[in-house]
Amino acid sequence: MKVVVSIGGSVLAPDLRSERVRAHADVIETLAAEGCTVGTVVGGGGVAREYIGAARELGANEIELDDIGIDVTRLNARLLIAALSEQAAPSPPEDYESAGAAMHRGDIAVMGGVTPGQTTDAVSAALAEYVNADLLVYATSVDGVYSDDPNETDDARKYDELDAGELVDVIAGLEMNAGSSAPVDLLAAKLIERSGVRTIVLDGTEPERIADAVRYGDHAGTDIVPDGADDQMTYWVRDEQ
Ligand code: UTP
């Protein structure tokens, strides 16, 4: 099974504690040892926001700010690479082709950002599309896709399952409300819809949850089921039985 795991910067390194990065690396390593081909994409988190905020005050333009954000995502990717040691490609691939080639060789690819004007949500969806992944997992600090921002609205409803077209509609609605944050952004949702990659959005603050989602489809987040796909995916561990 081929999986792309997207780990938000605030999930991987909210405070630069090495144990947290190690715990995520352990999960990725275990999945790889069990025979899974793994690509990972790491976000920038609070550190990226701080750098971008400071550079904005200094007069940097939006593309320059995005480039700073990309550098921070790649710095976080290097942290995860350090914890994965020899199993990971030694530096963050800067395009999908290099990441796909690393995965093809049997390495774990750990990417950060790629190009200005987007976030690592979209990078993850594009990598999943490029490598023809069976599954894309977003490990975020929110436990799924909600009808509204759960931090702002009491009656925000969590979706257990959405088809990809519904995901696009929900995210488009959320992005219309200034200030409300969506667990994946609209470009990512559109790429998921286009590629038809099965996707899970879950709370990744406990890295083991990522492993359970990949192995068994067990999770408490939101399943994004491609249009026309079977309701039940045959998860790869069960596949082998
Ligand atoms: P993130 O993917 O962490 O952005 O990339 P985010 O969604 O704003 O962060 P979270 O999920 O809320 O923690 C950090 C920044 O890097 C730039 C963007 O400016 C983004 O906000 N970036 C990242 C790019 O310009 N292109 C990329 O491909 C990736």
Higher pLDDT, 237 or 66: 66
Query: Edge-to-edge, what's the strand order for the sheet holding 135-140?
Result: 109-111, 37-42, 2-7, 135-140, 199-203, 222-225, 161-163
**Position 233 confidence tier, pLDDT thresholds 50, 70, 90:** low
**Residue nearest atom 7 in ligand 1 by C-alpha distance:** 119
Q: How far is the CA of 17 from the centre of ligand 1 (A)?
A: 21
> Does the C-beta of 150 come closer than 6 Å to ligand 1?
no
- Asked if residue 71 is part of any domain, the answer here is yes
- Asked if residue 237 is part of any domain, the answer here is no
pTM: 0.95
- Asked if residue 238 is part of any domain, the answer here is no
Q: How far is the CA of 216 from the centre of ligand 1 (A)?
A: 30
* Whether the predicted pLDDT of 240 surpasses 60: no
- Asked if residue 236 is part of any domain, the answer here is no
> Does the C-beta of 124 come closer than 6 Å to ligand 1?
no
* Whether the predicted pLDDT of 59 surpasses 90: yes
pLDDT value at residue 152: 83
Site to substitute for ligand 1 among 73, 141, 151, most atoms within 8 A of C-beta: 73
In 3D space, the residue among 176, 171, 172, 151 whose CA is nearest the CA of residue 159 turns out to be 171
- Asked if residue 159 is part of any domain, the answer here is yes
> Does the C-beta of 140 come closer than 6 Å to ligand 1?
no
In 3D space, the residue among 71, 50, 215, 51 whose CA is nearest the CA of residue 137 turns out to be 215
Using CA atoms, how far residue 82 sits from 14, 18, 73, 96, in Å, is 17, 10, 14, 21
- What residue numbers bound the domain in which 157 lies? 2-225
Q: How far is the CA of 37 from the centre of ligand 1 (A)?
A: 25
**Position 153 confidence tier, pLDDT thresholds 50, 70, 90:** confident
> Does the C-beta of 120 come closer than 6 Å to ligand 1?
yes
Which residues touch 61 (CB under 8 Å, ≥6 apart)? Answer: none
CATH of residue 165's domain is 3.40.1160.10
* Whether the predicted pLDDT of 206 surpasses 60: yes
Structure token digits, residue 166 = 């519904």
Q: How far is the CA of 72 from the centre of ligand 1 (A)?
A: 9
Q: How many domains does the chain have?
A: 1
Render pLDDT for 1-53 as a digit per residue (tens, 0 to 9): 999 999 999 999 899 899 999 999 999 999 999 999 999 999 999 999 999 99
pLDDT value at residue 241: 43
CA–CA gap between residue 77 and residue 88 (Å, rounded): 10
pLDDT value at residue 178: 66
CA–CA gap between residue 110 and residue 190 (Å, rounded): 23
Q: How far is the CA of 158 from the centre of ligand 1 (A)?
A: 24
Average pLDDT, the chain: 93
> Does the C-beta of 42 come closer than 6 Å to ligand 1?
no
* Whether the predicted pLDDT of 236 surpasses 60: no
- Asked if residue 152 is part of any domain, the answer here is yes
- Asked if residue 240 is part of any domain, the answer here is no
Could you tell me how far CA 68 lies from the centroid of its own chain?
Answer: 19
- Asked if residue 234 is part of any domain, the answer here is no
- H or E segment at 58? none
* Whether the predicted pLDDT of 56 surpasses 70: yes
Mean pLDDT, rounded, for 150-170: 93
In 3D space, the residue among 142, 103, 139 whose CA is nearest the CA of residue 212 turns out to be 139
Mean pLDDT, rounded, for 209-214: 97
pLDDT value at residue 78: 97
